[in-house]
Structure 1
Amino acid sequence: MKRYYRPIAQTDAARPAGAVPLAGGWCWFSHAEVLTRAGSEGLVPVADLPEEVVARLSAPRAQMADIGFDRPSIMGILNVTPDSFSDGGKFDAPEVALARARALVAAGADMLDIGGESTRPGALEVPVEEEISRTAPVIAALRSGGFATPISIDTRKAAVAEATLAAGADLVNDVSAMLFDPAMEAVVAATQAPVCLMHAQGLPEGMQADPRYDNVLLDVYDHLEERLVAAEAAGIARARVLIDPGIGFGKTVAHNLALIRGLSLFHGFGCPLLLGVSRKRFIGTIGGAEAADARAPGTLAVTLAGLAQGAQMHRVHDVAEIAQGVRLFDAITRGYEQ
């Protein structure tokens, strides 16, 4: 029977002997919950876990696109689309997009995530040429203007990834985990670009119709494990992969909450974790915020829950607000120097 090991993440300064760092970051753990498809087998001390499991859970994550993962980082969202769920049409003019990019970095973004195709529930596919025309000129203009901050391209399409990496993007953020376009693996392998593999059940146009899982935490884990193995087989080193459980992509409110509660399980891949919860519908449902742009407080609450489980990168719209919260969390857990 397959066993899964969910480290019980802690941040307290009172740390027992034998505890080990979680992913080389600000959390530590002394026990892990052992999970199976039949249920939980309870907590096991670190000393009784398999050595290879402890090594994967505890090892520092390799730097990626000039981002280190020993501290929390923020990925600021820049959608150059007319139809994204909360900011569609606001930044699709090139000059407005460039100004927004600089504003996000000034507000505290460590990386920008630029997307030219909405993947909100119900969204339809954008032609490759149009997606390239929305994204590549903005990235090229930023780089030609001396913009040094790392840039991620949010795309499912190999041709878009190739064009935008050539224009100056540093990382590919693929919400299909390289399943949508079979050519994506070859592009990522050939360019040696880092890639984020995200879980999604179904395509955006129908993914929220009736999502079902046997066990959402373990189902998502198994899917991402399969995609990680496929990436390695294609020549993409594990050290170049981020993992994203895909909150809101083919998940109900209950599914999202279960994934956030069990988030530390995904450290078992030995990869940094990206958490993308910004302004999502479940935050509005639980928090009572109908308008997407009114969900910053709820986004911060979920971000802090992710930080408490060692999630290293956080993809957000409201960079200034979330950056402030992250700085406070970091000061409390790692210390503060004036």
Structure 2
Amino acid sequence: MEAGKVLTGLDMFHIAEVLKDTKDELEFSVPEELPGAVNMKVDPKSETETFYADNVAYAQMSSLGDIDGEMEVADLPLDMQARIFGKTVENGIHFSSADDRALEIALGFRAKISTGGYRYYWALKGKPELVPIEHKTEEGKPTPQTSQVKIKFMPLTNVKEGKRRWEAKAEEGNGINAETWFKQVVYKDITKGETPVVDVGKQFIERLRALFLYEKGGTYMEALSITLRLDGKDKKFVTPDHITGLLFRKAAKIADDFESQDSERLFTNEQVEFVCNTFGQKFTPDEFEKGIDARLVGRTIYAAAQYVLGNIAEATALLNSGEISNGEEPGE
């Protein structure tokens, strides 16, 4: 930055979900603006060790340590909290659970430059901590009460595209402005071409359309079936004619859990309960866990999620490719 420039102010918080960050794939959702920016702090730490030889400091070796972040906003809306922290919402009531899993997010913002223009930032991948509940009674005059979110940032896993980067920043000019910077997460040069993003709104519509299969002018949905061994006998269970729409959001979350390949997000009590609900509570979570073949547990949970999302053929193929049958009787 040239001499005489001073950074002042903060605005235009943007949040995007890290949809995929693996060795082979890197995808982000379309950023969403979060109004009410108050304060932002990103504190990267380096770990340095001195190597001695010939009785002197011979070399300095440094590595990236923890990257602590803290975001303060006028308010973090409940709907945004539900999405970020994986909370369940039922008829407008937001529930927190021990099985909630926070999303990995990218965070963008900008600071004003005293001589004109802005400096833009993206912190590329972080895991937010739960928002503390803290309110204070009024003492004669209203006291603003903001929301503070602590975030542990980290480098991207992807090497080919993400190059293990954890931050991007640039000053206005050369094609960099609010419109170009915040329309995607910037993890590579955007002045030469567009960074690929995933429009989650479009994905939602496509999944919704896939829920319906039309046959002779009517609506038809093929049933999904699983086999459980109960009381020493194989019993077959099929999905009911109607599956409540309340399961759709949970299905999307479970599908993302499995596609993340994060072992901490797999085989939770919530996922087992989801399978039971998908099959109309014809068996209990305990019966499912005891009755399902151990080799098919993950495939069955993922298939149930895909089925509710409308990916009927994929769900059926997942279960059919793993059938292990020794004769079965109808379930309840």
What interval of TM-score do these two structures reach, taking the shorter chain for normalisation?
A: under 0.3
TM-score (norm 1): 0.21
Determine which structure has greater relative contact order: mean sequence separation of CA pairs < 8 Å that are 6+ residues apart, divided by chain length: 1
Q: Which has the higher helix share?
A: 1
Q: Which has the higher strand share?
A: 2
When Rg is computed on C-alpha atoms for both structures, the one with the higher figure is 2
TM-score (norm 2): 0.22
